[in-house]
Amino acid sequence: MLEQMGIQAVEAKKVLMVASTEMKNRALTKIAEELVANTEKIVEANQLDLDAGRKNGMAASMLDRLKLDTDRIAGMAKGVMDVVNLPDPVGRILNTVQRPNGLIIQKVSTPLGVIGVIFEARPNVTSDAAALCLKSGNAVILRGGKEAIHSNQMIAQIMRDAVKKAGLPENVIQLVGDTSRDSANELMQMNQYVDVLIPRGGAGLIQAVVKNATVPVIETGVGNCHIYVDWEADIEKAVEIVFNAKTNRVSVCNAAESLLIHKDIAEKVLGKIKERLDEKQVELVGDDASRKIVEGIAPATKEDWGTEYLDYKMSVKIVESLDMAVEHIYQYGTGHSECIITENKETAEEFLNRVDSAAVYVNASTRFTDGGEFGFGAEIGISTQKLHARGPIGLPELQSFKYKIYGNGQIR
Amino acid sequence: MLEQMGIQAVEAKKVLMVASTEMKNRALTKIAEELVANTEKIVEANQLDLDAGRKNGMAASMLDRLKLDTDRIAGMAKGVMDVVNLPDPVGRILNTVQRPNGLIIQKVSTPLGVIGVIFEARPNVTSDAAALCLKSGNAVILRGGKEAIHSNQMIAQIMRDAVKKAGLPENVIQLVGDTSRDSANELMQMNQYVDVLIPRGGAGLIQAVVKNATVPVIETGVGNCHIYVDWEADIEKAVEIVFNAKTNRVSVCNAAESLLIHKDIAEKVLGKIKERLDEKQVELVGDDASRKIVEGIAPATKEDWGTEYLDYKMSVKIVESLDMAVEHIYQYGTGHSECIITENKETAEEFLNRVDSAAVYVNASTRFTDGGEFGFGAEIGISTQKLHARGPIGLPELQSFKYKIYGNGQIR
């Protein structure tokens, strides 16, 4: 069954990859209109998912993420319209050279082709991901979780109808109806049809995709983000940046999870940081040195250093040097976002160069690792791998390239 | 055992990724010098491999590829010196933006980290791959085939000693001594230490890596390359390009394997092409239509259309239209290199846009898909996947990037 979807996706891609910007924007506009026009149908389908969730004892926070109402559907439509306003990434001439033999070699951005997106409960991912793929000229096969299957199917059907009305093949957007593990595994190995897989969800999902996929994967998401307070830090900046990076939104991958403080500033700054974090009841766990400086820090276990809490909790460690901070990040970090607080520009530059993460900050909150905040307009996730895309994945990252070579009879 | 290599590679990478261009060039120069200085040792080690190969009935062509002598070792050293002269790809500022909140976001090229190269019998890959990885700031773990193990070990040891003498950690270059399938599989799943795998070899090797690797892979190599002779082709160009693309060097991935001819020019051009190919005794297999036009073409089976012959053999098909040519390429191509011969610029542009291959040509031999011919100076392979690198993989393709973000206290 999935193979048929693969064949259809490739057929649809052939049309979409050469479609004009105008045509793609028309389809996106139609999608946005139809999502709003069909609000009632979407809410009804969503109700089935919510009922099933409640029956299965789904947590209130999960039910909230699953829920769609008029406002949220309008938000989804607005998200699609935002993509209309982004520049078309397809067909950009990235480089042109003329070789001594007269060949003209042009490097041009092209769609990746067919993208598989495997995601968990949030049904708004369905329209987000489909809109970004469509604008970037990629056919998409969406495979959401069973918790949101009725919502996802309704949203996908509305989008497919809209795309067709706009004059593009409806199969540029397909949703896998089967939410079994088998269907996910099959999608992960459809190398003949699928060019790239993007998993969106928790660490378990991402690891399952990395482990089982033979299709190339853009790994996203897990962020055990560190802030290192250097001995030459501005204390006020340190306090506010740590507070913001930890508490602004705890459930996201760019939230800070671990605090490293240089021993020579620890006594001056740790108490103030703790006081500020106490306002939001952040639980601190730390090493012996930190626990000697301030009361109310529980002992950290080795697991703590490697944990992405996604909660009002943070680990604290006192380090002897920049070296030790960098080493700690190498050992426990996930390559997402790390920050140094320092007024010393050389120290900052050394940290930025030596820490091997997607986003490295000096004196700013790790919460800025985000497509919107970077000015990308929209993103399909945050890549923590080094191949192809790193950091926020916007429309340009959903492109491959090809070489067009113009000759007049050249041979070797 | 491989885990220890992984740990060592990461340690070495930390130094190499921030090493100066001067330091890296000094190490490369030392490698080139020491390879030449140790020619005798390398030849001796190579003799062991040649003896074993002969004993195991290795084909003469394989023995020739395996063989190292003074000239070939000098060639390897020259290859390393060529890399010295290429620009350093590390630390290039790819983009800088200032955001409304004052954050300065700089996108900077960085090494991928640790690269695993899995390759087959040719021992010169050992120095080639190591030199490209070193210059691009990447530690490398090399895993060659058992046929060349003595040669590879000697070359690797000489390079490691040279690197150490130049002042860099010797573990920037490591060779896996165990040539069992288990060691290859272990390397393919060392996600904790290895950032990227590059397989170099035949279709079997590449498929095994794609199938078993959990580490991200840059797929290389297989090229079932097509030439399409449009009805508005210049016949002279068609004849010479097909002849060159097929016979210039038959054993390489950018050699043409399949010829598609528009029905309206077939009678005029096929005979002339066959005549020219006859000079090199190229065997033609074709569809019924082609066999009716010219004598001496054997019938093609379905397998023929999908076969990369790597030999003096070519398949021929008469097509009704550009559409049919594009469809045939979609069905049987490997996304490597395809060419249209036409004097009509619009037809050419349509072919270049619709064919989804790494390199798409108008009126030039597919043999130009090569790092040297593209002006890259050197390459580690030809990528046929769309993620990250496509076409020749030069030094810039051996880079990832990171975002350096400069703030003065920004929070969200």
Nearest to B357 among A103, A234, A402 (CB): A402
CB contact under 8 A, A400 and B406: no
Q: Show the beta-strand stretches assigned E in A135-251.
A: 139-143, 173-175, 196-200, 225-229
pLDDT band at A203 (very low <50, low <70, confident <90, very high): confident
Does A221 score more than 80 pLDDT? no
Q: How much is the pLDDT for A212?
A: 94
CB contact under 8 A, B403 and A365: no
Q: Which 3 state secondary structure label does DSSP give A301? A: coil
Q: How much is the pLDDT for B120?
A: 87
For the entire predicted model, the pTM comes to 0.94
At A55, which amino acid appears?
A: K
Q: How much is the pLDDT for B221?
A: 77
Q: Identify the residue whose tokens are 């050389």.
A: A346
CB contact under 8 A, B360 and A405: yes
Distances, alpha carbon A195 to alpha carbons A213, A231, A402, B219, B322, in Å: 12, 47, 14, 12, 24
Does B95 score more than 90 pLDDT? yes
Dihedral, A144, A149, A151, A156 alpha carbons, nearest 10: 60
Which residue in chain A is spatially nearest to B360 when comparing CA positions?
A404
CB neighbour list of residue B124: distance below 8 Å, 6 or more residues apart:
B68, B72, B75, B76, B79
Instruction: Give B115-153 pLDDT, tens digit per residue.
Output: 999 998 789 889 999 999 999 999 999 999 999 999 999
pLDDT band at A253 (very low <50, low <70, confident <90, very high): very high
CB contact under 8 A, A363 and B409: yes
Q: Identify the residue whose tokens are 């994967």.
A: A217
Give the strand order in the sheet containing A399-410. Answer: A93-98, A104-111, A399-410, B359-364, B337-341, B225-229, B256-262, B313-319, B283-286, B298-299
| CB atoms closer than 10 angstroms to residue B162 | 25
CB contact under 8 A, B407 and A364: yes
Q: How much is the pLDDT for B234?
A: 98
Which residue in chain A is spatially nearest to B247 when comparing CA positions?
A412
Q: Which 3 state secondary structure label does DSSP give A107? A: strand
Instruction: Give A336-351 pLDDT, tens digit per residue.
Output: 999 999 999 999 999 9
| CB atoms closer than 10 angstroms to residue B295 | 8
Does A378 score more than 90 pLDDT? no
Closest CA of chain B from A308, distance in Å:
17
In contact, B300 and B316? CB cutoff 8 Å: yes
CB neighbour list of residue A130: distance below 8 Å, 6 or more residues apart:
A31, A140, A142, A156, A159, A173
At A172, which amino acid appears?
A: V
pLDDT band at B232 (very low <50, low <70, confident <90, very high): very high
Instruction: Give B148-173 pLDDT, tens digit per residue.
Output: 999 999 999 999 999 999 999 999 99
Average pLDDT over residues B46-58: 97
Which residue in chain A is spatially nearest to B207 when comparing CA positions?
A214
CB contact under 8 A, B412 and A368: yes
Instruction: Give B254-312 pLDDT, tens digit per residue.
Output: 999 999 999 999 999 999 999 999 999 999 999 999 999 999 999 999 999 999 999 99
Closest CA of chain A from B97, distance in Å:
9
Q: Name the token pair of B139.
A: 């530690």
- Crossing angle between the packed helical segments B21-37 and B149-165, to the nearest 10 degrees: 130
Q: How much is the pLDDT for B233?
A: 98
CA dist., res. A334 & res. B251, Å (int): 43
Q: How much is the pLDDT for A201?
A: 85
Closest CA of chain B from A408, distance in Å:
5
Question: In this complex, how many residue pairs, one in chain A and one in chain B, have their CB atoms less than 8 Å apart?
Answer: 206
Burial code (b: 16+ CB inside 10 Å, e: under 16) for B227-251 equals bbbbbbbbeebbbbbbbbbbbbebe
Instruction: Give A65-103 pLDDT, tens digit per residue.
Output: 899 999 999 999 999 999 999 999 999 999 999 999 999
Does A281 score more than 90 pLDDT? yes
- Crossing angle between the packed helical segments B322-332 and B345-354, to the nearest 10 degrees: 30
Instruction: Give B366-393 pLDDT, tens digit per residue.
Output: 999 999 999 998 889 999 999 999 999 9
CB contact under 8 A, A412 and B368: yes
CB neighbour list of residue B395: distance below 8 Å, 6 or more residues apart:
B83, B86, B87, B89, B132, B135, B136, B376, B377, B378
Which residues in chain B touch residue A18, judged by CB atoms under 8 angstroms apart? Answer: 353-354
Q: How much is the pLDDT for B199?
A: 94
Instruction: Give B210-229 pLDDT, tens digit per residue.
Output: 999 999 999 887 899 999 99
Q: Identify the residue whose tokens are 């049904």.
A: A123
Which residues in chain B touch residue A356, judged by CB atoms under 8 angstroms apart? Answer: 17, 110, 113, 402
ipTM metric: 0.94
Q: How much is the pLDDT for A407?
A: 98
At A12, which amino acid appears?
A: A
Nearest to A357 among B99, B211, B402 (CB): B402
Distances, alpha carbon B31 to alpha carbons A167, B76, B167, in Å: 60, 10, 12
Nearest Cα to A355, choosing from A388, A383, A333?
A: A333
Average pLDDT over residues A356-360: 97
Across chain B, mean pLDDT equals 96
In contact, A62 and A53? CB cutoff 8 Å: yes
Q: How much is the pLDDT for B198?
A: 95
In contact, A80 and A28? CB cutoff 8 Å: yes
In contact, A263 and A319? CB cutoff 8 Å: yes
CB contact under 8 A, A368 and B112: no
Does A121 score more than 80 pLDDT? no
